[in-house]
Structure 1
Amino acid sequence: MTLTANSVWENCLNYIKDNIPEDAFSTWFLPIRPAKINGNILTIQVPSKFFYEWLEEHYIKILKSALQRELGSEAKLVYSILMDQKSQGRDPYTVRIPSSNKEKPQPQEVDTPIQLDKSRLMNPFVIPGLQKLKIDSQLNPNYTFDNFIEGESNRLARAAGRAISKRPGGTSFNPLFIYGGVGLGKTHLVHAIGLEVKELHPDKTVLYVSTEKFTQQFIEAVKNNNQNDFIHFYQMIDVLIMDDIQFLSGKAKTQEVFFHIFNHLHQRGNQIILTSDKSPADIQDMEQRLISRFKWGLSADLQNPDYNTRLEILKQKLEKDGIIFPDEVMDYIAQNIDTNVRELEGSLNSIIAQATLNKREITLELTARTLSKLVQTARKEISIDYIQKTVCEYFKVSMEDIQSKTRKRDVVQARQLAMYFAKQYTKASLASIGSQIGKRDHATVLHACKTVKNLQETDKAFRGYIEDISRKISD
């Protein structure tokens, strides 16, 4: 009896089905199609590189066992990964089940590639159940290059963004990793890039998504058992823009999925644009393989705007609103608000509100009085490192102590309070907090938070500690 690819693979599936859960079988094996058989070499088609890597990581043993039952101990398996029409001209990725034979067979070209039916994928940005795959870019039309003021603080990032707009995926800036503090224009810039790509390349699919939204969608996909749709949806995007990528810290499963999406897009020459509040090297609790990929293209930082840039930002804002400020007032604001664009715009709004409500002219005196209050109440960025230092100073323990394994009562107390305040004042995950405070796990952080809350309710002195430290952190 002549063996065929279909008959061999069908027998393999019958064996695999009896040895793994039904939902896993449906998700990871039913989409596979047998392509060719050549002696003891079976070639199968899988929808994506992520699919192949998942099989290799989780099911290689059962695949090997099933295939050797059919083709003997020298059996080999070749994966052919053909995502869509763009891949037909490329060699397929191949992996073979190891054998004692050192000679490696050549990759097999597939005669009839299996195409991904994009019309059937679920779009995580629309109401579940709708099959129409019309992707809204999620871009803000108000964030354009025309109203993004260029200066020394952002010139490199802006120039790279314009280059990408002309040739998305065709420059060496892939990925483009833009980082900087709060309010410096990261989100504005990536929206501007996306809008210009859409204008110059209407055939390109552009998508902006916050990392928090991406994570929520992934959790929902896992809950509804449609991870494949989620992954394939993002693998279709021509220009993917992800904001605040640092929020992947500590989220191992979401990092795993994003890693495979990133690889797929990058290998196809699709453009990836990321923003973060810190450079790739400074992101905590991120897999090193992701960090290394963030560095593949261009990392461009946005710094605090200089005086001339701040002045231009003020002029543009006032011109847009049809308001005139005296030159001396403009100069005063630009000289004294030197943090970020958000603070500049906030100062203008405060001055305008004061003048309007009190029916006063906008003068240098009014401006100085208003800004003095604004500057005094401006809060510093609260980081886990800052919280640790504040707690250490309060209890007069060292950072080395709080990071150590010591179980001394005063140090344990300080460590638990640092974890508690880190959860209260930052958006870091429990795993990220634990990693930065003594390399503890998320369960330790959760226990610390519960302990602090219990003591807060039962111990008057401890409640005083919390109030004192909270004031110090907020000041």
Structure 2
Amino acid sequence: MFVSKFNRLAYQFIEKFDHVKVPAITVIVGQEGLGKTTLLELLYQQNHEKIDGTILIDALKFASKYCYAANNGGLTQFRKFFRNSKLFLLDNINLLRGKQKTIEELFHTLDTLTAQGGKVVLTYKGADFSFVYLGPRFSSRLASGLVIRLNEPTPSEIKEFINYYLDSIAQPDLAELIFKLNPTNLKQVKESVQKILNKQDEEEKNNNFNSPESFAYKNLDMIQAINLVLPLALSYYQVDVKDILGRTKRVDHVQARYMVYLLLHEIFTKDYKEIALYFQKNFRGLQKRCQKIKEQNRESFDTLCQKLYNQLKQNPIE
């Protein structure tokens, strides 16, 4: 993890974390893009095996789980799970603004688990550090805890982070490009790098698409295209044909299934409507899910694309 003056106090808190000695509640405060989520993830990684019942959750996900439990008779199990936590890590409490029922539930969750010796670490986005939207009882409780502030990184610290991050992903040659974009926080650095890498990927794909072999692939009918894509997905995800063609909800089955649709659309230029009709899926739902799967599994998508390109070169279509 990148550590500098702007985040050193928070890092030292995590590095020397002692479950017995730390206050019941700790709040890490800082503007967007300074690595608050990364700090919580580091704290989780260092303690989840040592401290039973360690939970790391985003505030919106907590709200979603609470809503589902409340509407499906699962509140008893929900409360047992969260209120028995020994170390509860909540990311971005700001996201609960306006969700009064969830705020009330969270208050009782923290009240119960701290009364049982549990500890809470949460993050707050912003410089104002105002919990008014939580109500006087809850805001007073949080304000009485330990508050650790992340400062705004200096330009030199941003430059150091750029070099650190590019080295960590083996892309040091991008440094000058990123310097010119003048990012002001860590998140902007990562987003800028990703945009450049995505653009390079698209340019490489376009070059591949413009090769003579690629035109033959674009003209394949649906069944021919599926016969090329399906074996790759089966091998990559280690699943069976029935898993891809079926409707199981296992994560790897779903990813493999939608990766097939994505490759048919982006490599073989099959229309989403045509794909949905062939696989008997809802067109809008398939299109939306494909884009989400692509965003969440970019590395897998790029790997499968490269495998197809390699196959194209080795076995050209006449």
TM-score by length of 2: 0.57
Alignment pair present for 1:221 and 2:69 = yes
Q: Partner of 2:97 in structure 1?
A: 249
Match of 1:267 among 104, 115, 118: 115
Q: Secondary structure at the match of 2:16?
A: helix
Find out whether 1:153 has 2:6 as its counterpart.
yes
Residue 282 (structure 1) shift: 1.9
CA distance in 2: counterparts of 1:153 and 1:189, whole angstroms: 13
Structure 1 consecutive aligned stretches of length 4 or more whose deviation exceeds 4 Å? 351-359
Q: Does 1:182 align with 2:32?
A: yes
The alpha carbon displacement at 1:224 in A equals 2.1
Instruction: Identify the residue that residue 341 of structure 1 maps to in structure 2.
Output: 186
In the alignment, which of 170, 183, 202 is matched to residue 21 of structure 2? 170
Choose between structure 1 and 2: higher helix proportion.
Answer: 2
- The Cα of 1:237 is off from its aligned counterpart by 0.9
- Matches of 1:339 and 1:212, distance apart in 2: 26
> Could you tell me which residue of structure 2 aligns to residue 196 of structure 1?
46
Q: State the distance in 1 between where 2:9 and 2:180 align.
A: 24
**308-317 vs 189-198, greater mean Cα deviation:** 308-317
Judged with a 3 Å threshold, the aligned counterparts in structure 2 of structure 1 residues 255 and 346 are, in CA distance, closer, same or farther, namely closer
Paired residue secondary structure (1:171) = coil
Paired letter, 1:343: Q
Greater RCO (Cα-Cα under 8 Å, separation 6 or more): 2
The SS at the match of 1:300 is: strand
Rg larger for: 1
Aligned residues: 204
Q: Secondary structure at the match of 2:5?
A: coil
State the one-letter code of the partner of 1:239.
L
Which residue identity does 1:237 align to in structure 2? S
Instruction: Give the direction of change, closer, same or farther, for the CA distance of 1:306–1:235 in structure 2 (3 Å limit).
Output: same
RMSD of the TM alignment (CA)?
2.6
Give the match's secondary structure for 1:187: helix
Counterpart AA for 1:180? G
Structure 1's 227 and 355: CA in aligned 2 closer, same or farther, altered over 3 A? closer
Structure 2 residue aligned with 1:312: 160
Separation in structure 2 between the aligned mates of residue 156 and residue 190 of structure 1, nearest angstrom: 14
Structure 2 letter corresponding to 1:302:
L
Partner of residue 209, structure 2: none
C-alpha distance in 2 between matches for 1:326 and 1:215: 39
Contact 1:205 1:238 in 2 (8 A): yes
Equivalent residue, structure 2, for 1:233 = 81
Give deviations 1:254-303, integer Å, cap 9, x for gaps: 22221111111212221101112136842342111111111222212223
* Partner-residue secondary structure (3-state), 2:48: helix
Query: Which 5+ residue runs of structure 2 have no aligned equivalent?
Result: 205-318
* Cα distance change of structure 1 residues 162 and 232 upon mapping to structure 2, 3 Å threshold: same
The question of whether the paired residues in 1 share the 8 Å contact of 2:155 and 2:184 is answered with: no
Distance in 1 (CA, whole Å) between partners of 2:128 and 2:54 is 24
**Closer, same or farther in 2 for the Cα pair 1:350/1:252, shift >3 Å?**
closer
Distance in 2, matches of 1:267 and 1:258, equals: 14
Looking at structure 2, the residues matched to 182 and 271 of structure 1 have their Cα atoms a distance apart, in angstroms, of 24
Return the TM-score normalized by structure 1: 0.39
Residue 9 of structure 2 aligns to which amino acid in structure 1? L
SS at match of 1:161: helix
Equivalent-residue separation in structure 1 for 2:6 and 2:14 (angstroms): 14
Contact 1:154 1:302 in 2 (8 A): yes
Question: Could you say which residue in structure 1 is the equivalent of 2:222?
Answer: none
